[in-house]
Amino acid sequence: MSELLVVLTLTIVAPIWIVSHYVTKWKLAKGLSMDEAQTLEDLWKAAQTMEQRIGTLESILDDNVEGWRSKI
C-alpha cells in the first residue's frame, strides 16, 4: 500500500506541484525591473538622438560631397 502512495505521489502530485511552482515563478518574473526599464528608456533616447545626428550628417554630406553614398 505504501509503495502505491509513493508511486502516485511521484507520478501525479510531484509533477503538478513542480509545474505550478515554476508557472508562478515565471509570472512573477514576467515584467522588467525598474532598473531594466530605466536602462531601456535611456537606450531608446540615445538611439533617437543618434538617428537625428546621422540624418543631419547625411544631409550635410548630400549637400557638400558628391557621390559619397556610392563610396560606402
As a whole number of angstroms, the distance between CA 45 and CA 39 comes to: 10
Residue bearing cell 548630400? 62
Does 21 score more than 80 pLDDT? yes
What is the distance, to the nearest Å, from the Cα of residue 3 to the centroid of all Cα atoms in its chain? 46
Distance CA 42, CA 11 (A): 49
Domain count, the chain: 2
Q: Which domain holds residue 26?
A: 1-30
Looking at the structure, tell me whether residues 71 and 48 fall in a common domain. Answer: yes
70 and 45 in a common domain: yes
Check whether residue 18 and residue 48 sit in a common domain.
no
pLDDT at site 61: 93
Q: Half-sphere exposure of 60 toward its Cβ, with a 13 Å CA cutoff? A: 6
* pTM of the predicted model as reported, rounded to 2 decimal places: 0.55
